[in-house]
Chains A and B, each alone.
Chain A
């Protein structure tokens, strides 16, 4: 498959802060990639590098075989602006015309707005739109120039369930027609509904890069939390950390663990079991400072 965008050993620092740490990654034609990670993990930095907003401190970022800093290479990408930044006094149709005017190939304004449920709002000033309408406009703008690759940063934040589903359908359609998508989201549900490949980033590293199926397996992980002075050797413990008296364990099979724990006769209290978030699972799995339980 053709590689549309590529990061090779990319490191990015902001002063003392290490935002990305030797990240390598290929985005191939036709993929729909979900990018997961907590705030500050490096998601936005990664997108900014691909979109030509930032240069890597070291390493190489490629876009369509060139540099994203070259405006000509950016003809093939679409990016969502943050909806809070849209110029308030312009009309929806004017902004759309303005953005698509930058691209050699473009979707007609009427068609684009209709596709995102904004057909009736072309004459409305942005300042008069609801939050959800602005969000949809921001996402629509990413598709204005008939891109081959779109970067959607939190596309459905602030949308109600119905609008979210409608937007998912739009993204799916773009993908089915051959488009490539890199999507970030706080919602695991959204990544699960759309992505085929999932990237998890944390502390500036790619913690996992795998198929949705493999990642779903990870999502079965549970967090078992209890207060105890010490613990015996227990089965299926993937990771552990201790904060004061409380010990948190990430386990694949919590039932068996609890049975073993009771059987061992070690005193404990305050037992809690809850699903680990995907991020938690990956972060704990890959963190090196896991306390010895």
Chain B
């Protein structure tokens, strides 16, 4: 079974790398934001530069996870290839695991440009141990957005999934303080911010990379969102299975 998971992962990664627009889109915008806003304005302040790098890396990761996964899953459901795979002697697990692992691979690829810009052009500093910890936080923080991507992908047709995932993505990124630090956001946004999952994920990353104490509310909300999104994704998956394969 592990070899089949690997085979599915490999083929899905190849597919994404050969048509790299999704990866580029996820990597490009945050890297440009780094160069345009972080480098000139907060590049000299080590802590601010480090947290901003972490935030924008998560911005790209979240885009790959939420937008990438919802598009991939909704498109899969419309292709005749998908039912064909179900006739092969394997259950749905290798395909599903392959989908998740290949998305993770793309998530990790898409954060590299921001990391490079942060390291070369700002005062952002980090120890290898904290970097590793930061990647751990990034992966943990991206889980609810992958689940959200699965939910959207299993529920909607591909055109709708593309629009809805974008609609979910930008407000959450802004509310969570990924583009601008929460302190400079308007008051009502600051009041809302702890309740969106992006904020908890960002605080997890700031904590692991720059040692900033996270708020208990944000982390609790992140955990709650993860649980709710897992339930929603499972519900959507079962519903889709029932419609197409029962």
Contact = CB atoms under 8 A, between A and B. Distances in A.
B217 interface: no
Contact of A101 (B7, B82, B84): B7
Contact of B11 (A72, A79, A90): A90
Interface residues of B, number: 23
A82 B80 contact: yes
A85 B87 contact: no
Contacts of B19: 89
Interface stretch (B37-45, B54-62, B88-96, B230-238): B88-96
Contacts of A74: 87-89
Interface string A39-60: 0000000001001111100000
B81 A85 contact: yes
B91 A71 contact: yes
A28 B88 CA distance: 21
A145 B90 CA distance: 13
Interface of A: 48, 51-55, 71-75, 77, 79, 81-82, 84-87, 89-90, 94, 98-99, 101-103, 125, 145
A55 B245 CA distance: 7
B3 interface: yes
Contacts of B79: 85
A101 B87 contact: no
Given A51-B87, A71-B90, A84 B80 contact: yes
A55 B246 contact: yes
A86 B84 CA distance: 10
Nearest to B7: A101
B14 A90 contact: yes
B84 A85 contact: yes
A82 B84 CA distance: 8
Contacts of B239: none
B81 A86 contact: yes
Nearest to A72: B89
Interface in B4-55: 4, 7-8, 11, 14-15, 18-19
A85 B90 contact: no
Contacts of A94: 11, 14
Contacts of A51: 86-87
7 contacts: A79-B87, A81-B80, A82-B80, A84-B80, A85-B79, A89-B18, A125-B18
Contact of A53 (B11, B86, B90, B91): B86
- Select the residue from A82, A85, A125 with max chain B CB neighbours within 10 A: A85
Nearest to A50: B87
Nearest to B246: A55
A89 B82 contact: no
Contacts of B82: 85
